Amino acid sequence: MSLKGRELRSTVEGDRLILTLEEVDIGDPADDEIVVRVEAAPINPSDIGLLLGPADVASLERLDNDRPGLSFRIREARLASVAGRAGQSMAVGNEGAGTVVATGSAVSSLMGKRVGMIGGAMYADYRRIRAADVIPLPEDASAVDGAAMFVNPLTALGFVETARREGHKAIVHTAAASNLGQMLQKICIADGIPLINIVRSEEQAAILKAIGATWVLNSKDADFAARLADAIEQTGATIAFDAIGGGSLGSEIMQAMERASVRGMAEYSRYGSTVFKQLYIYGALDTSPTVLNRLAFGFQWGVAGWLLFPFMQKAGPEVAARMRERVVRELKTTFASNYTRTVGLAEALEPDVLRAYERKATGEKFLIDPSRG
């Protein structure tokens, strides 16, 4: 007789997006599976992408039945992009942590253990999952400590790994005061890699300076472009990771890289410098188009999407294992996440709460604890 529990679901129905809590059967674990009681699951920007993606939050309405639930109008421009998920009730929540409450026969040693896990459907009372997809937490780590041990830590480590593999010696990062950005800064300090942090407020700059950042630039400053060019020239940065995506900030970064490279050239070339500049777009804080003023940075450049899982696959199991081990080792230092608010599962569908985490304000970070109701 298997457990029942609630799961948060997002469904596109015609031109509406519907959020509900569904009562589901957890099902008995297979031999290599466990059932985890979810005690902590972070709300990452990528979760909000699936949860609300195309919805116009201002159009929020409560469902008019007994279940907790919300309904939104989908912005017309985004309708085509979500045609693929129409009618599919999608479970949400990339990662989380909790306590093992049932096990398959081959993995019974995990019973009662606290584990971190990744694989979706974490905004739920229980998650049945393959034992291979969880990591047992160290004795002194709480579920909160392990809730976000995959996406941000592995992404930050993945950036450094990518930069090294591709031969870059310094990194530029945008929206740099995020939890992810703070982890990246701590890694770069430990590994001796210069990191240029781009933020949008003095408050964000202060967060990074407090953890020892050397290079912090505020893109709202009047002399931002000049300071960026200087920082790039002094560090030799030729790779950037951009969480924003829309607009021309990525282009401005590559232009500054090009300017720094051209200063070192003996001879003019109409094709620009011979130094390769790479911009990776890993987020979509700005959903408007990316604008590349490419004539300002020659022909030696690349722009690409960057996603954690394709990167991990390309990097291979040894690199992945090394990265995971580092996360466990530094779980409460480098990879500590700060949460400003913890909410229950039903509470996550309260209009005021939803509007608060949907803003994705830097410094604010929400955690879901289903045991709170």
DSSP string, 5-26: EEEEEEEEETTEEEEEEEEEE-
Using CB under 8 A, pick the residue from 66, 270, 318, 333 that binds its own copies: 270
Q: What is the smallest separation between the CB atom of 86 and its own copies, expressed in angstroms?
A: 9
- Asked if 150 interacts with its own copies (CB under 8 A), we say no
Beta bridge partners of 215: 196
Q: Residue 307 interacts with its own copies (CB under 8 A)? A: yes
Nearest distance, CB of residue 222 and its own copies, angstroms: 18
The site string for its own copies over 65-104 (x = CB under 8 A, - otherwise) reads ----------------x--xx--x-x--------------
Under rule CB under 8 A, residue 223 binds its own copies: no
Provide CB contacts within 8 A for 108, sequence distance 6+: none
290 is a site residue for its own copies (CB under 8 A): yes
CB-based contacts of 189: which residues, under 8 Å, 6+ apart?
Answer: 211, 212
Euclidean distance between CA atoms 201 and 208, whole angstroms: 11
284 binds its own copies (CB under 8 A): yes
**Using the rule CB under 8 A, which residue among 79, 296, 315, 346 binds its own copies?**
296
Nearer to its own copies among residue 264 and residue 351 (C-beta): 264
Which two tokens mark 43? Answer: 């709300």
Tokens standing for residue 128 = 């049945």
Q: Does 300 sit near its own copies (CB under 8 A)?
A: yes
Minimum distance from residue 1 beta carbon to its own copies (Å): 30
Quote the DSSP letter at residue 131. G
Sign for the CA dihedral angle at 313, 317, 318, 321 comes to positive
Cα–Cα distances in Å, from 340 out to 102, 257, 349? Answer: 31, 36, 18
Interface with its own copies includes 285 (CB under 8 A)? no
Is-contact 58 44, C-beta < 8 A?
Answer: no
- Residues forming the site for its own copies (CB under 8 A): 46, 49-50, 53, 81, 84-85, 88, 90, 245, 248, 251, 262, 265, 268, 270-271, 274, 281-282, 284, 287, 289-296, 298-307, 310
